[in-house]
Amino acid sequence: MSAVIDVVGVPAEGPSALPPVLRDLVSGARTVVGSPRLLDLVPVAAGQTRRPWPSPMLPGLTDFLSEVGTDRVVILATGDPLVSGVGSTLIRTLGPEAVRIHPAVSSVALAHARMGWPSESTSVVSLVSKPVYAVRRHLAPGARVVALSAGAKTPVELARMLDDLGLGDSRLAVLGDLGAVHESRFDCAAAELAHGRAAGPDGIPDLNVVALEVSSDARLVGVTPGLPDEAFEHDGQITKREIRALAMAALRPIAGQRLWDLGAGSGSVSVEWCLAAPRTTAVAVERDPARAERVRRNAASFGVAVAVVTGDSVAEIAQLPTPDAVFIGGGASSELIDGAWQVLEQGGRLVVHCVTLDTEALVVDAHDRLGGELRRVTVERAEPLGRSLSWKPARPIVQWSVTKSPHRAGSAGEETP
């Protein structure tokens, strides 16, 4: 077997609480890597090299790992290295065959134990490298969430976000230094912590986990397709909720897949794509700088992974990572449709919405060559007319949707027999 890097999870009590075999592994290592805090906890061994992580870590990680090699290298981590830890990063970088994980009890398991919450009844969210709005998709009346903090500021930021969403009466338990002798806990309402009326007797420790229980009478917009238009910041350039739900039905979000949202407007389609399935991402292209910033704000407020590119869609798509689905909601052209179709792999979905006759002619022509489905949808809303109500129709929307298959693998200008 080729040499592997051993990643040792250190419990909150410190390295002295490790089993003897792992203590021997650490003491016998040629090189020990870890944060300065963890390195300071390990007794110095003769001839052993200590290496703190590069800062910033990710940009220099590959070169750093090449320097330390794999011969008798031990990396120290906190708790379970595969729970939002460095173990996951190393496996992505080096591959699973090059890394051996020795986990300790994770802070997530300890939080479940302290709260008396079965793991199947809770959601776990890491806020170590994500904004607190990443919790939003897990919020529901009575929901329980275990949030891994980035530091002492995270519980307050989370409380403020909850309070802004009208969930200030939700309960928080801030669990500090779980598993250590000096373990701490304080409980409060989100509004209390948000407004500085609660912070525990000794403040908030850097190592903390937040256990959140949403109030049972909470009112939330949910995450299903067709969210209210007012849930998004927009200037009127938004795919309306009924049409957005139709777009999601055609795009068919699948876990881990990527969407191109070309002519993104408010970014509402990107946001709903990311909310619809786990680990989904989107790239939103918008030529108007003010609207591009608005897309960023909408994505941040929902805590979803949307990369925003400001520029012309035709010019930008050659630089974008390959998509699994493409949505063209504005600015469709034959060049853009052809470019999007060319980069889609088999099973990829292309969906185009249009309201003008010129664009409708483009998609009818594309449908003739590439197949798929055409729909024409009109939504009517009841609005006051004098003292009564009357139906007011919106502009009809034409939707063309097509899935790429071996029989339809050519360009938008040619059909593969």
Residue 408 confidence class, pLDDT cut points 50, 70, 90: low
Cα torsion at 347, 352, 353, 354 (round to 10°)? -160
% of the chain beyond a pLDDT of 70: 95
Q: Distance between CA atoms of 302 and 165, rounded to whole angstroms?
A: 11
State pLDDT tens for residues 305-323.
Answer: 999 999 999 999 999 999 9
The alpha carbon of 338 is separated from its chain's Cα centroid by a whole number of angstroms, namely 30
Whether the predicted pLDDT of 197 surpasses 80: no
146, 108 Cβ separation under 8 angstroms: yes
Residue 313 has what pLDDT? 94
Q: What is the mean pLDDT of residues 327-336?
A: 91
Whether the predicted pLDDT of 16 surpasses 70: yes
Whether the predicted pLDDT of 363 surpasses 90: yes
Q: Distance between CA atoms of 115 and 286, rounded to whole angstroms?
A: 45
Residue 200 has what pLDDT? 61
Cα torsion at 267, 270, 273, 275 (round to 10°)? -70
Residue 84 confidence class, pLDDT cut points 50, 70, 90: confident
Residue 1 has what pLDDT? 37
Residue 85 has what pLDDT? 84
Q: Where in the chain is the domain with CATH 3.30.950.10?
A: 108-213
396, 325 Cβ separation under 8 angstroms: no
Whether the predicted pLDDT of 93 surpasses 60: yes
DSSP-derived secondary structure letter, 396: P
The matching CATH number, chosen from 3.30.1490.190, 3.40.50.2300, 3.50.50.60, 3.40.50.150, for 229-408 is 3.40.50.150
Whether the predicted pLDDT of 361 surpasses 90: yes
Q: Where in the chain is the domain with CATH 3.40.50.150?
A: 229-408
Q: Which residue has the higher pLDDT, 337 or 129?
A: 337
State pLDDT tens for residues 284-294.
Answer: 999 999 999 99
Parallel, antiparallel, or unpaired: how do β-strands 325-328 and 349-354 relate? parallel
95 contacts: CB under 8 Å, gap ≥ 6: none
Number of H helices and E strands in the chain, helices first, is 13, 19
DSSP-derived secondary structure letter, 109: H
Host H or E run for residue 141: none
Residue 417 has what pLDDT? 32
Handedness of CA 49, 54, 58, 60 (dihedral sign): negative
DSSP-derived secondary structure letter, 197: S
Which residues, in sequence order, are bridge partners of residue 34?
52
State pLDDT tens for residues 201-227.
Answer: 568 998 899 999 999 888 888 888 999
Residue 415 confidence class, pLDDT cut points 50, 70, 90: very low
Q: Where in the chain is the domain with CATH 3.40.1010.10?
A: 5-104
Of 309, 327, 333, the C-alpha closest to 319 is: 309
State pLDDT tens for residues 225-275.
Answer: 999 999 999 998 889 999 999 999 999 999 999 999 999 999 999 999 999
The matching CATH number, chosen from 3.40.1010.10, 3.30.56.10, 3.40.50.300, 3.40.50.2030, for 5-104 is 3.40.1010.10
Whether the predicted pLDDT of 413 surpasses 80: no
Q: Distance between CA atoms of 178 and 113, rounded to whole angstroms?
A: 10
Q: Average pLDDT of the chain? A: 91
Q: What is the mean pLDDT of residues 336-358?
A: 95
State pLDDT tens for residues 128-152.
Answer: 888 899 999 899 999 999 999 999 9
State pLDDT tens for residues 169-191.
Answer: 999 999 999 988 889 999 999 99
DSSP-derived secondary structure letter, 374: E
**Which CATH number is 108-213 given?**
3.30.950.10
Residue 36 has what pLDDT? 92
Q: Distance between CA atoms of 272 and 258, rounded to whole angstroms?
A: 12
Provide the whole-model pTM. Answer: 0.79
